[in-house]
Homo-oligomer: A and B are copies of this chain.
Amino acid sequence: QSHQAVFEAGVAGPDLESQLRARGFTLGHFPQSFEYSTLGGWIATRSSGQQSLGYGRIERLFAGGRMETPSGILELPPFPASAAGPDLREAVLGSEGRFGILTEAVVRVTPLPRTEEFHSLFFPDFEQGGEAARRMLWSGIPLSMLRLSTAQETETTLGLAGHEFLIGALERFLSVRGVAKHKCMLLFVVSGGEQIVKTARKEALAIASGCGGVSVGKTFGREWNRTRFRTPYLRNTLWEAGYAVDTLETAISWSAIPGIIREIERALGEALAEAGEEVHFFTHLSHLYPWGSSLYTTYLFRLAEDPEENLHRWRRLKDGASRAIIAQGGTISHQHGVGVDHAPYLPAEKGPLGMAVLGDLCRRFDPSGIMNPGKLAG
Contact = CB atoms under 8 A, between A and B. Distances in A.
A88 B351 CA distance: 11
A329 B80 CA distance: 12
Interface string A87-98: 110111111100
Contact of A80 (B74, B84, B293): B293
A108 interface: yes
Interface residues of A, number: 96
9 contacts: A46-B84, A59-B87, A71-B353, A80-B287, A80-B334, A83-B338, A85-B96, A88-B357, A111-B138
A376 to B, nearest CB: 6
Shortest Cβ-Cβ A-B pairs, 6 listed? A80-B292, A90-B90, A46-B83, A82-B331, A2-B253, A199-B199
A95 B83 CA distance: 10
Given A87-B94, A140-B192, A3 B290 contact: yes
B1 A77 contact: no
A334 B87 contact: no
B353 A80 contact: no
A291 interface: yes
A88 B356 CA distance: 11
A211 to B, nearest CB: 14
A255 B4 CA distance: 10
A114 to B, nearest CB: 9
Contacts of A86: 90-95, 358, 361
A108 B330 contact: no
B81 A289 contact: yes
A149 interface: no
Interface string A105-136: 00010110100000000000000000000100
A163 B219 CA distance: 60
A335 interface: yes
B69 A81 contact: no
B80 A333 contact: no
Interface string A241-282: 000000000011111100000000000000000000000000
A69 B353 contact: yes
A145 interface: no
B48 A83 contact: yes
Nearest to A87: B90
A196 interface: yes
Contacts of A203: 193, 195-196
Contacts of A138: 3, 110-111
Given A253-B80, A331-B77, A361-B357, A193 B140 contact: yes
B196 A140 contact: yes
Contacts of A287: 80-81
Contact of A354 (B1, B88, B292): B88
Contacts of A4: 253, 291
Contacts of A318: none
Interface in A332-348: 332-338, 342, 346
Interface in A131-188: 134, 138-142
A168 to B, nearest CB: 36
A283 interface: no
A87 B83 contact: no
B335 A83 contact: yes
Given A80-B293, A82-B334, A108-B290, 14 more contacts: A73-B353, A80-B287, A80-B291, A84-B331, A84-B349, A85-B95, A85-B96, A85-B376, A86-B94, A87-B94, A110-B138, A113-B140, A140-B196, A195-B199
